[in-house]
Amino acid sequence: MTNIKTVGVIGAGQMGSGIAHVCALAGYDVLLNDAAPDRITESLALIDKNLSRQVARGIVKDDDRVAALARIRPAKGLEEIGAADLAIEAATENEEVKKQIFRALQPHLTANTLLASNTSSISITRLASVTDRPERFIGLHFMNPVPLMKLVEIIRGIATDAATYDTAVDFARSLGKTTANAEDFPAFIVNRVLVPMINEAIYTLYEGVGTVDAIDTAMKLGANHPMGPLELGDFIGLDTVLSIMNVLYEGLADSKYRPCPLLVKYVEAGWLGRKANRGFYDYRGEHPVPTR
């Protein structure tokens, strides 16, 4: 089994930043890479902000915050990531983008480097197939926001060996996470259940059954959900919701997974949710306002 000391994270967006955060806090040295170097600077600032928030809440000591930040080092190229004991891809939820990253990383890998993808829906078997080590490839699906959410889905591809799986479980637990094993089927467990619910809420809006406010209020107070499904879709990113629905629809060939036309329209408009300041809510003012 690989003794993990250094973790390479590819993608410095919301998920990559969160993964780097929890890895550094748990004592791992972290190499953070992104195709856009400016994102690494933004990511480090976000990690500092989130760690400071944890300090203020008494969750983390300030000395641990300082030590964690010191463990994260920008990696200008994939050649630096290749030297890590574990390389985690956390790029956008697009299969071809992810495959291209693993192809580009391939020449720089050490013999013992483990590979993982943070994909929330895409086949681990297919992603592993473009590498020279499918037996040392696994899915590590962290939940968003990573520092707060306790679950990591562990997904084995058809070729993933037992040692890789055991190492991945031990690694996730060393971060203070609880693991759930998921088989390599489209969207795994969490998103197989969650994202169709969001899509159904969008259909409910599309068909005029309720307004944005009525649907979210009904699910928060009627089902005791902490966040309404449309608000949650905005938080996840409507482009990501659409991508996962397409993976389900194409992978399972069942009409119940057909993406709602209204979801497609919002994504085409660039109304992707919180990250775009508009989705099912408009976030440009002091308080979010429903857009329908």
Check whether the bond before 145 is cis (ω within 30° of 0).
yes
DSSP 81-104: HTTSSEEEE---S-HHHHHHHHHH
Residue with tokens 């550094």: 24
**120 in catalytic set:** yes
DSSP type of residue 151: E
Catalytic residue among 89, 93, 153, 231: 153
**191 in catalytic set:** yes
**141 in catalytic set:** yes
Catalytic residue among 89, 123, 141, 243: 141
User: For the chain, what is the radius of gyration of the CA atoms?
Assistant: 19
What's the CA gap between 157 and 123, in Å, rounded? 8
What's the CA gap between 32 and 46, in Å, rounded? 13
Catalytic residue among 120, 123, 199, 243: 120
What's the CA gap between 4 and 17, in Å, rounded? 19
Catalytic residue among 43, 50, 191, 199: 191
Judge whether 237 and 284 are in contact, CB under 8 Å.
Answer: no
Q: Which residues are designated catalytic?
A: 120, 141, 153, 191
